[in-house]
Structure 1
Amino acid sequence: MLQIWNHHKCATGFMTRTLNTIAEKNGLQFWMDDRGDADVSAARKQADILHIKNAHSGMLSDPDAGGIHIIRNPFSVVVSAYFSHLRTHAIALKTGTWVKLAQQRERTSVLNKRDGLSATIDFLLDQEFFPATPGPLHALSNWPYEDQRFFPLLMEEFVKAPVTNLLSAMAQSGNDTLPYRVLPDDSDLTFKKMSNGRSVGQTDETSHYRSGDPNDWKLHLEPEHRAAIRKACRPVFERFYPDLAEESKSYVQGSAIEQETLPDPKAEMASVKIGDITLAYRANDGGGKHYLSRGHSEEYLSRFYPTLRDALAPEFCIDVGANYGFTGLLMRRAFPDAHLTLVEPIPWLKNYITYNFATNRTTFDVLHSAIVSTNAAGTTSSFGVNERSSQDSRVIAQSNWTVVETPVVTLDQLASNVGADQSVYIKIDTQGWEERVFAGGETFLTSNSRWFIKTEFAPMWLESQGTDPQTLLRYLLDRYSVHESVARVRWNATCLDDLLGPPLVAGCEKDFVAYVRNLALQDKGWVDLYVLPLPAQRNYATGNRRLPSETSS
């Protein structure tokens, strides 16, 4: 008999899959229940493995109670609950409708994140947050940890190697009489498997398995939240998480983000204020210092975003080559309700992106630490990191660059959840890898009629990545409507035609590439291109210019 005593948001789904897999492989009976008044005594008579998913001290008078008790950092419990209750957790359950969760979702959906997290703490402390069931913070704070019938297993350790750590806990607790013969492999029970291929820390706000990072709470909880959680769950912190039992006194420039959550503690960090956006970057990174230049302030003020919003109203935004997250922040600012996907292959930039979104008190939906390419590239690829200037890193590394291995995704995969009639804005800046990005998105781009792409076109960089610039331009002109982006959008632009100008035409490839090369010394010129569906396939208007008095900001 194996008994697992668990709590809501303490890897109940992860544990259920692990236990059910063990049961199926060994012909054992598996029983689970998420009600606090579950008849565990009756279940023992018919099952070999029991999973009590909402355990609490009121259930422990049963003399046969005992086994392994799952515990999770209460900070993580709150953050996980906030996001899942807001979006992904089921309200219609086998046992009926979870009315209180429906009410909680309605309540938090109109609150900002700070107030929503406070409301979540209260909800998790509710003595009746689920029928006959106290909330997990209430249950954790009132558990009799001195009861020797229960062996504590920290969720943070369990998920690293579920089967191995479960067997270890069984042996240490004396609860090792389960008649198993075949066990699943730990590699089959990982966050990556549960989240459809994401690595730990690759966040998807629309997934029930959102992040997998045990330190993700540091990006969301304010001092007031941490104080309330510590007060409620002090026995848990003092016994299992003593390093978190007291508040850190060190903060970043007076903000609520602790020093240990800095994106790159070993590197000096600088920041720049662009409008109402604060962007942190590595102080010695030329790519970061580039945000001090005039062009980024112009992009912040540009009529491009409101004009695109009025014409296309993007429901999805995809930023390929997110760097420190500035363009993603602009996308979120302009299209607050859009599903926002960011892709950035430089490993340490992932932390900066997360940090910059947190400090600007906003969120993205998915962050891939990967390159965007074709299926032919395989599932992983080498990538060259230019440590002197992150914005000029490339898939094919140049001399003396750091080479890392990174996952590969395609544009088709990134857009796989976009409906046929839904609208998408895509930014592509991959330092010469654009040919593969477009090739890997051809299925989506030829089947959807409501997309708009802004992509870099830099002949010298394209050649460094094995692409002939004229061939790429000809490929685009054969399939799509292609326009040269002017450096600055007029202040009174009101429709896309004000941005686009006439399209490039087939036969101009040689002259246009020569023109772009000469825009800077040593053939280092570049431009951005706007790429759209051909007019006959396009399902949105680019015209309908309005008077300046009618424009929206």
Structure 2
Amino acid sequence: MSSLRGLLPKWGQRKVSPSVATEKREEIIEFDRFTLLIDPSDAGGCAYRHVQFGGENPLLREAITRFQPTLYVDIGANYGLTCLIHHQLNPGARIVAVEASSKLIPFLTRNLNAIIPSEQVDIVHGLCGKECKPVAEFALNPHSSQDNRVKGTNEQWKIEMVPQVDVSSLTDHQDGFVFLKVDTQGFEPEVLSGAEAFFKQTNNWFAIVEFAPQWLESQGFRPESWLTKIAEKYKVFEWPEVATYKGSSLDDIMSRILEPSDCLKFTQAIRNRRRRSLGWTDIGIIPRI
């Protein structure tokens, strides 16, 4: 799942072409200002053919203009689309892209290095959790890389052993403003636990985090309880994936704070947005100042 989707135009498909750079199975998807190299045998990669991916959310531009991040940390970078979008809007920022899948790392590396100066980008092969450790398990969805998880659902999911990092180590010695994006298919509680040391050091951060109740439960968490704890510590608000018809300013969105008492009903409302209780959304998180 992606945190940056736009409106779906008439035909719903981007222009694609086979990669001529290699005989391997690769495909190039054309966006307005860059291209994305993907594996066409991966349903997660093929999803980027649809134009709802890569559409600009005006709220994102407004947030970048206001906060002027010097560091963008993408936890669950996949093929690198959200990194590339952020770079287009904020070309001076350093990018840290964290991706656990060894299959995706070559694509992520080529996609980012094609656009972003090497001195501005760090690609971290590993999963992100509550602490750093030399090795941890990560499960690869056999159908779609966008649904890779720390804990797989059955024996068909291949297990990889990868290093584990935490947000606080990725942001160590960072003096500027940090923009954090977290999309980890239900592992978000562990990722934010690993960010707490950094969050306590500074108020110069803004986070967009996926909130998907069904996926959180698949990783052993209780969505309502976790969201309530987050709402007690920080200001939390829903981050819409597209602009509303008459528009909403960043101040409008950030003023709609979820109080701890709201979290149970909010979680149920998000579940009900899609059939079989498979709804999800993104939430914005900022410090309580």
Please report the TM-score for the alignment, with normalisation by the length of structure 2. Answer: 0.87
Alignment partner for residue 346 of structure 1, among 97, 101, 120? 101
CA distance 1:494–1:465, shift in 2 (3 Å): closer
| 1:468 paired residue number | 222
Q: Report the alpha carbon displacement of residue 305 of structure 1 after superposing the two structures with TM.
A: 3.0
CA distance in 1, matches of 2:72, 2:245: 23
Q: Report the alpha carbon displacement of residue 501 of structure 1 after superposing the two structures with TM.
A: 4.5
Identity %: 27
Alignment partner for residue 123 of structure 2, among 344, 360, 367? 367
CA distance 1:369–1:353, shift in 2 (3 Å): same
List aligned pairs for 1:364-443, cutoff 5 A.
Answer: 364-375=120-131, 378-399=133-154, 400-419=156-175, 422-443=176-197
Asked whether the 8 Å contact 1:270–1:280 carries over to 2, the reply is yes
SS of residue paired to 2:172 = coil
CA distance in 2, matches of 1:372, 1:305: 23
Please report the TM-score for the alignment, with normalisation by the length of structure 1. Answer: 0.47
More helix by share: 1
| 1:514 paired residue number | 268
CA distance in 2, matches of 1:360, 1:316: 17
Asked whether the 8 Å contact 2:229–2:260 carries over to 1, the reply is no
| 1:270 paired residue number | 27
Q: Structure 2 counterpart of 1:506, which letter? A: P
| 2:42 paired residue number | 285
Q: Report the alpha carbon displacement of residue 492 of structure 1 after superposing the two structures with TM.
A: 8.2
Gaps spanning 5+ residues in structure 2: where? 1-17
CA distance in 2, matches of 1:479, 1:293: 37
CA distance in 1, matches of 2:116, 2:230: 38
- 1:390-422 deviations in whole A, cap 9, x for unaligned? 000000122111100000001110111212xx2
CA distance 1:310–1:392, shift in 2 (3 Å): same
More strand by share: 2
Q: Structure 1 counterpart of 2:283, which letter? A: L
Alignment partner for residue 239 of structure 2, among 481, 485, 498? 485
CA distance in 2, matches of 1:511, 1:402: 36
| 1:311 paired residue number | 66
Q: Report the alpha carbon displacement of residue 379 of structure 1 after superposing the two structures with TM.
A: 2.6
SS of residue paired to 2:103 = helix
Q: Report the alpha carbon displacement of residue 386 of structure 1 after superposing the two structures with TM.
A: 1.0
CA distance in 1, matches of 2:116, 2:235: 37
Q: Report the alpha carbon displacement of residue 500 of structure 1 after superposing the two structures with TM.
A: 3.1
Cα-Cα RMSD: 2.0
CA distance 1:443–1:369, shift in 2 (3 Å): same
Asked whether the 8 Å contact 1:270–1:283 carries over to 2, the reply is yes
Q: Structure 2 counterpart of 1:384, which letter? A: A
- 1:67-124 deviations in whole A, cap 9, x for unaligned? xxxxxxxxxxxxxxxxxxxxxxxxxxxxxxxxxxxxxxxxxxxxxxxxxxxxxxxxxx
Asked whether the 8 Å contact 1:307–1:494 carries over to 2, the reply is no
Asked whether the 8 Å contact 2:99–2:127 carries over to 1, the reply is yes
Q: Report the alpha carbon displacement of residue 294 of structure 1 after superposing the two structures with TM.
A: 3.4
Of stretches 309-318 and 488-497 in structure 1, the one that deviates more from structure 2 is 488-497
Q: Report the alpha carbon displacement of residue 368 of structure 1 after superposing the two structures with TM.
A: 0.6
Alignment partner for residue 52 of structure 2, among 287, 291, 295? 295
Gaps spanning 5+ residues in structure 1: where? 1-250, 260-264, 538-553
Q: Report the alpha carbon displacement of residue 498 of structure 1 after superposing the two structures with TM.
A: 3.9
Q: Report the alpha carbon displacement of residue 491 of structure 1 after superposing the two structures with TM.
A: 8.3
Alignment partner for residue 532 of structure 1, among 267, 286, 289? 286
Larger relative contact order, structure 1 or 2 (CA cutoff 8 Å, min sep 6): 2
- 1:301-358 deviations in whole A, cap 9, x for unaligned? 3213320122100011100000000001111111111111000000021100111123
CA distance in 1, matches of 2:183, 2:270: 16
SS of residue paired to 1:477 = helix
Q: Say how many residue pairs are matched.
A: 270
CA distance in 2, matches of 1:370, 1:313: 27
SS of residue paired to 2:104 = helix
Q: Structure 1 counterpart of 2:26, which letter? A: M
Asked whether the 8 Å contact 1:373–1:440 carries over to 2, the reply is yes
- 1:126-166 deviations in whole A, cap 9, x for unaligned? xxxxxxxxxxxxxxxxxxxxxxxxxxxxxxxxxxxxxxxxx
CA distance in 2, matches of 1:277, 1:426: 22
CA distance in 2, matches of 1:358, 1:449: 31
CA distance in 2, matches of 1:361, 1:530: 26
CA distance 1:487–1:401, shift in 2 (3 Å): same
Of structures 1 and 2, the larger Rg is shown by 1
